[in-house]
Amino acid sequence: MAEFTMELNDEQKEVRDWIHGFAADVMRPAAAEWDEREETPWPVIQEAAKIGLYSLDFYAQQFFDPTGLGIPMAMEELFWGDAGIALSIVGTGLAAVGVLANGTEEQIGTWVPQMYGDATDVKVAAFCSSEPDAGSDVASMRTRAVYDEAKDEWVLDGTKTWATNGGIANVHVVVAVVDPELGSKGHASFIVPPNTPGLSQGQKFKKHGIRASHTTEVVLENVRVPGHCLLGGKDKLDERLARSRERAKGGERVKNAAMATFEASRPAVGAMAVGTARAAYEEALEYAKTREQFGRPIIDNQGVAFQLADMRTQIDAARLLVWRASWMATTGKKFEHAEGSMSKLFASETAKKVTAQAIQIFGGNGFTREYPVERMHRDAAIYTIFEGTSEIQRLVIARTLSGMPIR
């Protein structure tokens, strides 16, 4: 078991510097353009694919880093570059995690490569869980999956929302209800292969931030997928549903497919928030050193300097929580006190606060699109919302600490 450390090894530093170079040289110069266009930055994804940054191999290497720091390190550097473009690059990863968390080895080997394509033919994937009336309240999910035993097919009907890469994805991973009586315990995840009839893109959202990331509704109308597209397989599902029914009688709580995916990804989202916060802090620090008022740099004023001190302290604290949770997940240590939720909660709240402070330090300039902190502040707003709102994270933490069904 790898010991927890705050020091990256030489190989990790090389990877970090490589990603940082791509973020600085390719992502940063393109950030404002794609934010204004509100379109998927395919040319940037293509460049990432050419150098191996957007590939299954790269993310597998980081995912299996024995220290657990590979993924958070990569996320921080990419989101330091630009959150919208970075989410377009890493959005496929959530769908991949959905397969890794719930699929068989054969399913992983078959579908995950198809999510990325290759450097000459780049693809993306989408994870579809949220619905118009079922975001944090996953038990209210209405998308149904009914098994057609005669044809060994599952028939999916419903509408998903807030799907990153929805509609443009080569592979969609869809969470659906297979047993309504079990509530959130009666969910399962399905692969919808490329060009499957009945799946279409619904509304594309015009967002406050992360505007280079494609976010839509996904409509499923009599979507038929082969039986082997049920992640984990029918036998495993039947066994899980049977156990859930027995446990439900005894009042025991059981995790569902969507929650397994989110728990695995929460520290990574925290790392994204750290990257955006760090970017805004660095911009504010440099501005405070060069901007003069009353004959001296504004950093000479305690009111500004103390803000920067707080910003840096909060960013470092957030990174430590993220690294701890990532190390625990990789080394198999149980989140006894919801350490994964803690990392996501603190890092996301830090990103919102730090980017707001950065705008304040820039003054009127920070309120314009001439400077990147305005965009960073808009981007940071998403971290306290997606993959579990801050309120949900607090609920998870409070329930873990108290052992009570706090509502």
Distances, alpha carbon 308 to alpha carbons 113, 202, 247, 279, in Å: 43, 43, 51, 13
Contact 359, 366 (CB under 8 A): yes
Amino acid 225 reads V
C-alpha 370/C-alpha 164 separation (Å) is: 28
Contact 322, 385 (CB under 8 A): no
Instruction: Point out the catalytic residue in the list 246, 263, 387, 391.
Output: 387
Contact 53, 22 (CB under 8 A): yes
Distances, alpha carbon 306 to alpha carbons 285, 310, 312, 313, 361, in Å: 11, 6, 10, 11, 11
Establish whether 387 is a catalytic residue. yes
Counting other chains too, the contacts that 149-155 makes at CB distance below 8 Å and 24 or more residues apart are 151/224, 152/226, 152/227, 153/224, 153/225, 153/226, 153/227, 154/190, 154/224, 154/225, 154/226, 154/227, 154/229, 154/230, 155/222, 155/223, 155/224
Distances, alpha carbon 279 to alpha carbons 275, 282, 311, 374, in Å: 6, 5, 11, 12
C-alpha 262/C-alpha 392 separation (Å) is: 12
Contact 273, 265 (CB under 8 A): no
Query: Which residues form the catalytic set?
Result: 387
